Amino acid sequence: MRKVNIFDTTLRDGEQSAGVNLNMAEKVEIAKQLERLGVDIIEAGFPASSKGDFQAVEAIAKTIKNSSVTGLARANKRDIDAAWDALKSSEDPRIHVFLATSPIHMKYKLKKGPEEVLQYSVEAVQYAKQKFSVVQWSAEDATRSDKDYLVKIITEVIKAGADVINLPDTVGYTTPKEYGELYDYILTHVPNIENVILSTHCHDDLGMATANTLAAIEHGALQVEGTINGIGERAGNVALEEIAVALHIRKDFYQAATGLKLDEIKRTSQLVSKLTGMVVPGNKAVVGANAFAHEAGIHQDGVLKEASTYEIITPELVGFASNRLVLGKHSGRHAFKDRALELGFELDQDKLNEAFTAFKALTDRKKHVTDDDIFAILADKQTNQPDEKQYELESVQVQYGTLNTPTATVRIKTPEGSILEEAGTGSGSVEAIYHTISKMVEGTVRLMDYKLQSVGSGKDALADAYVKINYEASESGGRGSAQDVLEASAKAFLNAINRSMVSKQPARNKVNV
């Protein structure tokens, strides 16, 4: 049974998804959960791209102990130095250096010839090897590159000290047959290929990322790069949970396995979805809400008689357990803390007190408090940074009638501690709230996207609101949770404004590997 390493790029490639805006505390929390999941390598970010990215990578490097932490770098000394400075305190630092190898990228993006690209790659790997014990080199847009040129450049970067060679399908162009043949070609034509691990990195532009990744594994890849829930640039990356479960269920065919703790998949998916604001589709493989639902009568009858008739994956395998009542209004602080630890949250005393207060307030209004409810409370408190509390919602009231214009009255606390109150109208209740808040803050706010989903089920379920705004020419996302959908919507809008206000720095460079 071959061991396939899992290289998670949720915090780098995944965070480049349109509208995703994670703060440092959120990135660290996701990294901690990826460590609990058993990820081998966590790509924490692109340190040279911005001060914020550097600080986040550095914080993750200091926090994570059981996974190797890596950072992305272009093939130049400045990027490599920045990656080393961010990662040097890590338990097991490594670096991921990339350069495009396809004719179209070399001609139009790099404006360099093949020999220049080879020289830059070799020099970058040699320089990185002086600092890092493990150096990964990626041939960006490998699937649209000339195979013989790939053989030539890979041979040389291995001589220069590369330990991992990645062949990314950067634009999701290839097919499983072609991708498998590419790995066969590299394995049979690169003379020193036995000195490195081959990695795969697939995008989902044509909906073939999972199939392509599995084809690469079948043809010799021993490292998989992807993201939780398949988030990422454009149509996203391969979903790591799909690869891990596919290898587990079909180990008879692939003869390969990961080291992931499969029962942590649901919790990891839930955390990434909540913090990024990217809702998991109901029909998403492995982690979708309908992944284990059976509507057809014939299917229901079969499952009741023998689950394996229509379920090749059990819900328990990936962490879907019965959403039992875990705590109630009479539960104490100690029991709440124990449950927080069970759910993977280690809160300091102040945040634990805030979370417990929010939990007790919820028990007064909600009869059944579930794991999902507590998870939502804990995630909000754990990942909320003090410097983000620019504006705080004090109250919101809405007057609505089918024959009247909706009117909202909002009270907020400013960063200076003063209280503002304003009223406004809109064509709907949420629009009235957003028009009102927009009048209370300096600058122009434009709503670009709004999503609402429930936490759990039932008429008393918590609401999660996600918004994307343009504030003072800067795009930002925000989220808010409450039992009332209008309160959640107001919190999300203010959260997005606050995030914009604390990120007054040049946009970081985004790359697509």
Q: Does 120 share its domain with 193?
A: yes
Total count of residues recorded for the chain: 513
Stronger pLDDT, 252 or 333, i.e. the higher one: 252
Q: Which of 155-164, 166-175, 233-242, 345-354 has the lowest mean pLDDT?
A: 345-354
Contact criterion met (CB below 8 Å) for 146 and 152: no
Q: Is position 352 within any domain? A: yes
pTM score: 0.90
Q: Does 142 share its domain with 111?
A: yes
Q: Is position 92 within any domain? A: yes
Structure tokens at 429: 């209740």
Q: Is position 326 within any domain? A: no
Angle of helix 371-382 relative to helix 24-37, nearest 10 degrees, comes to 130
pLDDT at 310 over 80: no
Structure tokens at 142: 């490998």
d(CA 315, CA 308): 12
The pLDDT tens digits for 315-328 are 899 998 755 556 77
Q: Is position 286 within any domain? A: no
* The predicted structure's pLDDT at residue 442: 86
Q: Which helix (H) or strand (E) holds 419?
A: strand 419-425
Q: Is position 281 within any domain? A: no
On the 0-12 / 13-18 / 19+ scale of CB atoms within 10 A, 234 is: middle
**pLDDT band at 508, cuts 50/70/90?**
low
Give the CATH number for residue 472: 3.30.160.270
Q: Does 259 share its domain with 112?
A: yes
The pLDDT tens digits for 109-156 are 999 999 999 999 999 999 999 999 999 999 999 999 999 999 999 999
Q: Number of structural domains, the chain?
A: 4
Q: Does 16 share its domain with 100?
A: yes
Q: Does 439 share its domain with 356?
A: no
Q: Does 203 share its domain with 338?
A: no
Q: Is position 283 within any domain? A: no
Q: Which domain holds residue 15?
A: 2-276
The pLDDT tens digits for 435-445 are 999 999 988 99
| 476 strand-pairing partners | 469
Q: Is position 405 within any domain? A: yes
Q: Does 378 share its domain with 391?
A: no
Q: Which of 6-15, 84-93, 383-392, 487-496 has the lowest mean pLDDT?
A: 383-392
Q: Does 121 share its domain with 239?
A: yes
Number of H helices, E strands in the chain: 17, 16
Q: Does 56 share its domain with 166?
A: yes
Give the CATH number for residue 187: 3.20.20.70
The pLDDT tens digits for 441-497 are 988 999 999 999 888 777 778 899 999 999 888 888 899 999 899 999 999 999 999
Contact partners, residue 183, CB within 8 Å, separation at least 6: 167, 198, 200, 216, 219, 220, 221
Q: Does 176 share its domain with 243?
A: yes
Q: Does 124 share its domain with 173?
A: yes
Classify strands 404-413 and 419-425 as parallel, antiparallel or unpaired.
Answer: antiparallel
* The predicted structure's pLDDT at residue 386: 55
The pLDDT tens digits for 361-382 are 888 887 778 888 888 888 888 7
Q: Is position 42 within any domain? A: yes
Q: Does 372 share its domain with 402?
A: no
